[in-house]
């Protein structure tokens, strides 16, 4: 890619990134007057192929999984992870269950930071990805708070047709309550998961996991309060790191 092509690619990316509600082809063209229409069309197609951007059913363009992944990696540098770690450690201590902070990583979730507790579940190592995109509560929470274009992308590429109805029900339930709490849809355990929202933008998800399948209402309430509090404190910490 030439320097001019790279410049134009980033120019288009910036235009799309500045429009959280999506932007049309016509508006992109109006805001990038120095890019020829044919060149812009070619760049948009290439960026979609690389999942840097997405195009929804209404013809609007949004940032894609790859661009979001780059942004998250910039935020969760080693120093930032160590800023988050004390909150995850305290969450595990307060609930006596393993806790973790997840972020979206291209087309799935990644365990960014964790604290395992003996007698609870042991999470995959930090930096590892989980391919249970359709049933993992952290994945479901992140997708529920993401734009429909990302949800559509996941449905079209990673979820079998027979699982779509169940998947959409999980997403709809989370959008109604704002979080996930209860039996894990794809594993023999229970989880509570809350989104981490920084300045109105989704950054990740905090979760605790219990090997008990039928948690009492009191225990579930305790975990829910602790996870929500942890998510809010991490979000505040990330704001202060900017």
Domain boundaries of the chain, sorted by first residue: 3-63, 70-241
Asked if residue 76 has pLDDT above 80, the reply is no
Rounded percentage of the chain residues whose pLDDT exceeds 70: 92
Q: Specify the higher pLDDT residue, 237 or 229.
A: 229
- pLDDT of 242 above 70: no
Check residue 224 and give its pLDDT: 97
What is the mean predicted confidence (pLDDT) over 6-25? 85
Mean predicted lDDT score pLDDT of the chain: 88
Encoding tokens for residue 37? 């229409």
The yes-or-no answer to whether 3-63 and 70-241 have a common fold is: no
How far is Cα of residue 46 from the mean position of the Cα atoms in its chain?
Answer: 23
pLDDT at residue 216 tops 70: yes
Q: Is 109 helix (H, G, I), strand (E, B) or coil?
A: strand
pTM: 0.74
Q: How far is CA 202 from CA 32, 104, 174, 210, 220, in A?
A: 27, 10, 14, 25, 24
Confidence grade of residue 73 (pLDDT, cut at 50, 70, 90):
low
What's residue 238's pLDDT? 80
Q: Does domain 3-63 have CATH number 1.10.3720.10?
A: no
**Which pLDDT score, from 0 to 100, does residue 193 have?**
98
| pLDDT band at 156; cut points 50, 70, 90 | confident
Q: How many CB atoms lie within 10 A of CB 232?
A: 15
Q: The domain 70-241: what is its CATH number?
A: 3.30.450.40
What percent of the residues of the chain are helix, what percent strand, and what percent coil, each to the nearest 5? 50, 20, 30
Model confidence at 209: pLDDT above 70: yes
Higher pLDDT, 49 or 193: 193
């Amino acid at each position: 890619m030439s320097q001019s092509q790279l410049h134009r690619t980033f120019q288009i990316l910036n235009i799309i990134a500045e429009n959280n509600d999506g932007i049309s082809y016509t508006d992109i063209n109006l805001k990038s007057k120095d890019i020829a229409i044919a060149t812009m069309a070619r760049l948009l197609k290439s960026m979609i192929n690389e999942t840097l951007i997405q195009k929804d059913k209404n013809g609007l363009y949004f940032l894609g999984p790859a661009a979001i992944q780059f942004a998250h990696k910039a935020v969760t540098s080693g120093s930032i992870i160590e800023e988050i770690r004390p909150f995850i450690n305290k969450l595990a201590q307060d609930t006596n269950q393993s806790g973790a902070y997840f972020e979206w990583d291209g087309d799935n979730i990644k365990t960014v930071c964790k604290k395992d507790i003996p007698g609870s579940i042991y999470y995959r190592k930090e930096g590892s990805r989980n391919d249970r995109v359709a049933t993992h509560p952290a994945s479901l929470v992140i997708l529920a708070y993401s734009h429909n274009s990302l949800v559509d992308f996941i449905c079209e590429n990673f979820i079998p047709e027979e699982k779509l109805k169940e998947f959409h029900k999980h997403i709809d339930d989370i959008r109604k309550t704002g979080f996930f709490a209860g039996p894990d849809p794809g594993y023999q355990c229970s989880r509570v998961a809350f989104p981490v929202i920084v300045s109105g933008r989704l950054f990740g998800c905090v979760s605790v996991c219990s090997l008990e399948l039928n948690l009492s209402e009191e225990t579930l309430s305790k975990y829910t309060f602790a996870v929500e509090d942890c998510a809010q404190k991490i979000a505040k910490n990330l704001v202060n790191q900017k």
